Structures are given as C-alpha cells and as structure tokens.
Amino acid sequence: MIKIPAYDPKPEYVLLKDEIDAAIQGVLDSGRFIMGPEVTRFEENVAAYLGVKHTVGLNSGTDAIVIGLQALGVGAGDEVITTAFSFFATAEAISHLDAVPIFVDIDPVTFNIDVSKIEDKITERTKAIIPVHLYGHAADMDVITDLAQRYGLWILEDVAQAFGGKWKGKKLGAIGEIGALSFFPTKNLGAYGDGGMLVTENDDYARMAKMLRTHGAQKKYYNQIVGYNTRLDALQAAILNVKLNYLDHSNTLRRKAAERYSQMLAGVDGVTIPREASGAYHVYHQFTLRIRDGKRDQVQAKLAERGIGSMVYYPVPMHRLPVYQDLGWQIPQAELAAAEVLSVPLWPLIDEETQREVVSALEEAVR
C-alpha cells in the first residue's frame, strides 16, 4: 500500500474547495460547456499572466505542440530539433506532421537540451527548435534564441512542465514564437482532466491555431482547411481560472519543498540532487534525483516496500523508443539519465514531516 504518493492533489483541492465548487456549479448553471465565457476569461487571464497577446485554449499540451508547429508552417520532410529526453508527445507532435524529429543530447545537470550540441544538427531542412523546460527547469533560452535568429529558425517552447517558470526574468512560453502549455492534473497548473493552451504574440499564428482547433473553420460550417476538434472544456477553464490566482504561491511552495529536500539529502552517498542553473527560475514540477551505481530500480522498489511512491520520468529516451529506435541514434547522456532518474514525492503542500519520512527511506534504500 502506498501511503505517500508521488503526487497528491487532494490538499490543494481541500484548500480551494469552496472556490472550485462554486466555479464548477457556475458552469453547470450556465449550460455553456464547450468554449464560452469561462474559456475566454481563462485565455485572457493567461495572456495577462504571461504578458502575451494571444492564447488559444486546447484539449491538451500535445495538441498545442501539433497545432503550434502547423501554424508555423512545419510540414512533411522538415526537420525539427528537440531534446532526446522528454515525454513522447514532444517528438510525436513532430511526426504527426510528417516532419522529422532531430534529437540532441542533454545537459547532465539540468536534464534539458545541451545547447552546445544544437548547431551541429542544423541543416537546410531545419525549420524549428523545440526546447523542453523539463521538470520545471528552463532551458538556456539565450543560446537557443541566438541560434534561431542566426539560422532563421522558429522556436516552439514546450512548457508542459514549467508553467510559471522563468529564464532571466522572462516567463517561459513567452520567449519563442509559440509556447505550448499543458494542464494535465499533475502539472503546476493542473485541471481535473485534460487541457492545454497555445500562446503567441503573432496574429497569424493565433488565427491559424483558432481555425485548427475547430475543424479548420473561422465561421461555423464554413471550413477552410482540414483541422481538428480540440477545445478546452468550460468546466476545466473554470477550475483553472480559480487555480491560476494561486499559481505563483503554489510554485513558491514547490521551491521551498525542493530546498528542504536538497538540505536533507546533502551528502547522501549515491544520490545526486537537482541544481538550479544561473538564470533559471525552477518551478519543480518534479524533484528528480539521479540514483548512481545502477541502483535506481532497486531503490524505487525499496521505497515502494516502505509505502512511498516515486516515478521514473523517463525510463526510455525518445530515440530508443520502438517508434524511433531503427534510426540508430546514440545519445549517451540521455541514455544514462534514463537509467538513473527518480522523481520523489512533491506537491505544493507537502509537509516537512512527510519529506523527512521520504528521505529516511531513501537513505536506507541506497545503502
């Protein structure tokens, strides 16, 4: 029996119960369940939070990447550079458009794309770069932006795990041409179901994204292009409108919990704790350790025996997944990370006593 889950959404709901319940009831009373004023209000609120001109509510973060790439004009045969170490959706979105994902190794400290290795991957067919701000930590957007400007490339930021994070004071998602957000329940701003959003300063990209989300039509029943059915539900938007008001505080609590973990785990043999790079404002979607000496799986099993949940994000780097493994890529740091990473319990309202119990079990497990 797991007594300490890897993520526990209940404390936040209990804290915000009255506001969330009222928001849900308001949608039920309105009878407006698809799009409507709650979605519009949420889009406006996110635009104000990020300081961007346009926001387009969608069904998922995956759809935000697919539609974002399509709005940029990425298509068959184009190459899109991205990290080898992320959730499959990042590369899957590229492949959905018959474009080609070009995988780059990672920085072993931040787990993000190694920006020193990007330029060697740029060819005449390269159209875009997708940096993933993994685990809540910003990729080095200075180098990525410079490369994009020099080679005439687009940047689509995958901000699924880092909403509220920053790079040198700039909100993630508002740096590249397009930002893709996810509101999956475990995310820093999590809905109670699926949800996502595309954000951009560009009028044309926003117009295309809005058409694509509703079957390729600007006016109902007058379809101009082949699109999708990917709209943010009003119920989810209402919930997210409440939770957005507390996002910065929630991220601050995540950072404090991460600091406590770092202090408790300092000096524990066989464990490498995450570090925040200069310029990044880490929002700790996950607190991800490296368990060295080939012990990760046995440590995870021992934690489970003590009733403590943990997660491996991700056990297989994308270039080693069955769908891409025939490409024959060798990407050593991503492969090593996949064998060592372990994310321990973290949520905004996790208490110090619970963290001490996790650390005690971890210290015993790595001996």
| Cα dihedral across residues 310, 93, 176, 61: positive or negative | negative
Q: How many residues does the chain have?
A: 367
Peptide bond into 314 cis (omega under 30): yes
The predicted-structure confidence for 70-120, as pLDDT tens digits, reads as follows 999 999 999 999 999 999 999 999 999 999 999 999 999 999 999 999 999
Q: Which two tokens stand for residue 84?
A: 């080898």
Per-residue confidence (pLDDT) for residue 328, from 0 to 100: 86
Strand-pairing partners, residue 180, are 158, 198
Give the type of residue at 210. Answer: K
| pLDDT number for residue 83 | 98
According to the model, what pLDDT value does residue 327 have?
Answer: 87
Beta strands in 28-99 (DSSP E): 54-58, 79-83
pLDDT score for 352: 97
Is there a contact between 107 and 126 (Cβ–Cβ < 8 Å)? no
Domains of the chain and any CATH numbers: 10-244 (3.40.640.10), 247-365 (3.90.1150.10)
Which bin fits 35, alpha (ψ -120 to 50), beta or left (φ > 0)? left
Report the distance separating Cα 154 and Cα 302, nearest Å: 45
Q: Rounded to whole angstroms, what are the CA distances from 13 to 97, 197, 215?
A: 38, 22, 34
pLDDT at 1: 82
Model confidence pLDDT, tens digit, residues 253-303: 999 999 999 999 998 999 999 999 999 999 999 999 999 999 999 999 999
Residues in the chain with pLDDT values less than 70 = none
Compute the radius of gyration of the chain from its Cα atoms: 20
Structure-token pair, residue 111: 């787990």
Q: List the structure tokens of 38.
A: 């709650």
pLDDT at 267: 87
